[in-house]
Structure formats: C-alpha cells, structure tokens
Amino acid sequence: MNKDDIRYSAYVNILKRELVKAMGCTEPIAVAYAAAKARATLGDIPDKIVIAASGNIIKNVKSVIVPNSDGRKGIPAAAALGVLGGDEDAELLVIANVTDAVKDELPVYIANTDITVEVLDSESLLDVEITVFKGTSSAMVHIVNEHTNIVCIEKDGEIIYQKDAAADEDSDAQLEAAKEYELLNVADIYDFAVSCDLEDVEEILDAQIACNTAIAEEGLRNDWGACIGKNLLNNNENSTKTKARAMAAAGSDARMSGCEMPVIINSGSGNQGMTASLPVIVYARENNVSRETMLRGLLISNLVTTHAKTGIGRLSAYCGAITAGAGAGAGIAYVCSGELDTISHTIVNALAITSGIVCDGAKPSCAAKIAIAVEAGIMGYEMYKDGQQFYGGDGLVLTGVEASIANFGYLGRVAMSETNKEICNMMVNC
C-alpha cells in the first residue's frame, strides 16, 4: 500500500487513536477522571459526591479492583480516589501517580464523605455524570460515548464548557474519523501490514510489546485474581499455544485485580489490547521470527480487532475479548507464514466458535474468557491450516470474511441489546 493512499494514513491514525496507554480498567478510570475534573473545577475537596452512571459503567466498575486504592472495588472507590489524588489532565492515566499519603487518606475520606451512586437513564451505553459539593458550592462533569469525552462542565449551576454529544458526532473531526474506520477491511489491513513503513508505527507497537508483556509477566510471577495464567501453565503441556493463552490471561489476572502497571489498550479496553497482542508476541518469539514479522503480525491483529469491534461498539453484552481473540488468531496466522486467505478464514472460524459469550462486567473471570478467546483464534488458524473451515450458512457465518464480521457485529450491537439491558439490571440490583 502506497503512503499516498488514503487508507494508509487512515490506518496509521486509527492505530494512534486506539493503541494508547491506560492504567486500570477503563470504566473505573473514566469515573476517576470525571471526579478529578469535577474536583479541579470545584477548587476544593468535596464533602459530597453524586455519581450518575449508565448500567454498562456500573456493570464494568462493580467487581474490578481500582489501582492504587489498596484493593477497593466499585464506583465510590474510583470517584473518591479521583477526587483525592487524580491528575485531572492525565486522562486514562488519571490515578497512575497517586501518592502514599492519598492512599492512607482514602479510607477515612470514603467513611466521612456522602457518596451516592445513581443509575443514569441514558441512550448512551457509556455515560457518567459526577457532581461534587462543598458547602453551597458545586461542580459537575459529564462524560459520554468515550472514556475521556467530556461534554459538559458546570460550576455552581453555570455552564463553563459544553458540547452537544449528538452534534459532536456530526462534527468535521468526528466525521473524518468515522470515515477512516469505514475504510477498514481485512484485505486492505493485510496489504497495509505487509507493506507499510514500520517507522510510522513501531513506536506504538514497541510500547504495546513492552507494557503488555511486563504486566503479563507480573501476572505469572505473583498471585493475582484467579491465577488463570498460572493455572494454564501448571495444568497443560508446555506448548506455544498454552504459553500464548497463559500470557494473555495472566495480563488480565493482574489488571483486573488492581495491578498498578499500565497497558496499551485497543478499542477502549486493556483486556482487548492484551488479547490482541500477547499471543502474537509469544508465537513470534517461540518461532524465532524476525522483529519485523512480529510487528507486522501485531498490525494485523490490532487492526482486525478494531475492525471487528467497530461494528459492536465500545460497550455491549458481547464480550470484547472474542473479537480480540479472532484478531490474535489472524496475527498468529501471519507470523506462521499465513497469507491473506488463511488470515481471512482464521477470523471467520474463530468468530464462529465463541461469539455470543456475554460481558458481565470487568472481574477476575475475564482472564478465563480471554484464554478461551485466544484458544478459538488459534483453533481457527489450525483448522484452516489442516484444510477445514466453517462455511456460509453455518449458523451466523456468511460467505466472505467481511460479511461474517458485519453479521457478528450486528449480533453484538443490535441483537444482544436487550440481553445487555437485562445483564445491567441484574448486576445493578444484586
């Protein structure tokens, strides 16, 4: 693909937009970020906090440990930490540099502060509105659609910043970004990955390799969560396949349990970022392929993951690790000398195996779902390598990789929308 091709710059922009650094599960981080912004706007430490959040935010914050909180879970802990020690300018790294003094103060502050969580009736699946009070003064910050997308800031009832979330979707910048995602397709992803100038993308990919490998190794060294990564290595043969599943799971073991190490995310999710990258890194290293081959395999896995997830949306009832597992399978297929045809069939096979696994929030069992998603990606590749595939008409599989990706995207975005509402209701009320 030539650099002058509009697709080339679009794919580089997508990678820069999607593969960013974050510490902690991105939903509690969104809460902490809004809280830090609200405190900065108020100009004081509040004595009352009201958090109104969509069901999907509540679902994804309820059971995951907030980093730098000494093992605390949930929205009140995330909001309180953002208020006390959050860097309001650091976005997804908002609580990365919390001091020991703040950690010591946190339990006292939570115990003595009126913190209320309300369910926000919103058309947006990702919606957080935090209002903080100090005496008669108040401040409010509202985030919609993206984890750091602030649409409104108020101080004492006066709007000091506002943009219409719906209108913003129609802004020139948003329209241009949307057009870039519309250019994603597996054939062009392959063309870009095998021909692009690596200098345009290697800084992003090197950060992904370093950050995600480090947290996975931490997950294997110590007891985090349900220790899915360790369990895989302890109870299975010492194969490349097992190592790939274990590394991806171990990263999630650590991250879901409050590990204070950053990851490079994909499609708004650290778990998806680790699932898309770590198996490809393992296969590249175990097969002693060149650094260039590994980087090009990561381009395929990351862009396929983003492509498949775009049709589903940031949050849904559909487990995002499934699309990332298919992306990982595609990247592994490339690393193992697979051509476009092999990569395309790997994706279809993988989606056919595991699509429909539900997202019931961020928590330790995400690591096990990741292991299953990676297994499906690898199985999808091994099937086609041995001359087997799923055909159009087999369940939700359609003829052609793009038609199948679109069909499974519709499943996650539309067909499972009522399932998503029920899951959120169950988790809010239990």
Question: pLDDT (tens digit, 9 = 90+) per residue, 382-422?
Answer: 999 999 999 999 999 999 999 999 999 999 999 999 998 89
Q: What are the Cα distances from residue 116, in Å, to 12, 44, 53, 77, 84?
A: 42, 19, 11, 11, 17
Band (pLDDT 50/70/90 cuts) for residue 8 is very high
| CATH 3.30.1330 residue ranges for the chain | 24-168
Q: Which two tokens stand for residue 299?
A: 């381009």
Kindly report which listed range (155-169, 208-222, 262-276, 296-310) carries the lowest average pLDDT score: 155-169
Half-sphere exposure of 28 (CA within 13 A, CB side): 34
Residues 6+ apart with CB under 8 A from 45: 39, 83, 84, 109, 134
Q: What is the DSSP code (8-state) at residue 185?
A: -
Q: Which two tokens stand for residue 291?
A: 């650094």
- pLDDT (average), residues 187-211: 98
Closest to 208 in 3D by CA, of 149, 272, 293, 259: 272
Q: Check residue 172 and give its pLDDT.
A: 64
Question: pLDDT (tens digit, 9 = 90+) per residue, 339-382?
Answer: 999 999 999 999 999 988 999 999 999 999 999 999 999 999 99
Residue 162's SS3 state is: strand
Q: Check residue 171 and give its pLDDT.
A: 59
Q: What is the DSSP code (8-state) at residue 414?
A: I
Instruction: Classify residue 11 as exposed, middle or buried by CB count within 10 Å of its CB (0-12, 13-18, 19+).
Output: buried
Q: Check residue 121 and give its pLDDT.
A: 86
CB 36 within 8 A of CB 153: no
Percentage of residues of the chain with pLDDT beyond 90 = 88
Instruction: Count Cβ atoms below 10 Å from residue 159 Cβ, excluding itself.
Output: 10
Q: Where are the beta strands (DSSP E) in 78-216?
A: 114-119, 127-134, 137-144, 150-155, 158-162
Q: Check residue 169 and give its pLDDT.
A: 53
* CATH tag for 24-168 (out of 3.40.1000, 3.30.1330, 3.40.50, 3.30.70): 3.30.1330
Question: pLDDT (tens digit, 9 = 90+) per residue, 50-76?
Answer: 999 998 999 999 999 999 999 999 999
Band (pLDDT 50/70/90 cuts) for residue 166 is low
Q: Is the pLDDT of residue 315 over 90?
A: no
Q: Where are the alpha helices (DSSP H) in 19-99?
A: 26-42, 55-61, 75-85
pTM: 0.93
Average of per-residue pLDDT values in the chain: 94
Question: pLDDT (tens digit, 9 = 90+) per residue, 232-258?
Answer: 999 988 899 999 999 999 999 999 999
Question: pLDDT (tens digit, 9 = 90+) per residue, 111-152?
Answer: 999 999 999 888 888 999 999 999 999 999 999 999 999 999
Question: pLDDT (tens digit, 9 = 90+) per residue, 258-300?
Answer: 999 999 999 999 999 999 999 999 999 999 999 999 999 999 9
Q: Is the pLDDT of residue 167 over 80?
A: no
Band (pLDDT 50/70/90 cuts) for residue 157 is very high
Closest to 369 in 3D by CA, of 249, 209, 206: 249
Q: What is the DSSP code (8-state) at residue 416?
A: T
Q: Check residue 356 and give its pLDDT.
A: 87
Residue 22 to residue 270: CA distance in whole angstroms: 7
- End-to-end Cα, the chain, rounded Å: 52
